[in-house]
Amino acid sequence: MIDEIQKLLDQYAVWLRDKTTLREVNQDWLEITSPYLDRHNDYIQIYIKRQNGAYLLTDDSHTVQDLQQSGCALESSKRQALLNITLNGFGVKLNQGALEVHASEDNFALRKQNL
């Protein structure tokens, strides 16, 4: 059974790689479009650039804007605390409405997944 499941995991990795696209936005930024869907059935996109020998990944403010446009205001201290607890649990920072993580080559996969 282990071999069978390993084969399925290998097929999943190939599917993920084949369905993920990269697009150069400008000379600094790349857009990564994943096959995963958000709550609007749109593909999830994140943006990445090289910064100080590592990588900066961001959602370009999509998540917070979507919450606010859906009526989920984040101004109250309780909601701010919940947001900060959630972000801290994944090592994600909020920078002027954008969710961000910094990654190295060694931890890129985990940091991208956390974002």
- Summarize the confidence of residues 86-90 as an average pLDDT: 97
**pLDDT tens digits for range 38-47:** 999 999 999 9
Question: Is the pTM of the predicted complex or chain greater than 0.75?
Answer: yes
Tell me the CA distances in angstroms from 102 to 3, 5, 7, 17, one per residue in order.
Answer: 35, 32, 32, 22
Q: What CA–CA distance (Å, rounded) separates 61 from 73?
A: 14
4: three-class secondary structure by DSSP: helix
Q: What angle do CA 19, 21, 24 make, to 5 degrees?
A: 180
**pLDDT tens digits for range 17-26:** 999 999 999 9
For residue 44, the model assigns a pLDDT of 96
Token digits of residue 97: 């409405």
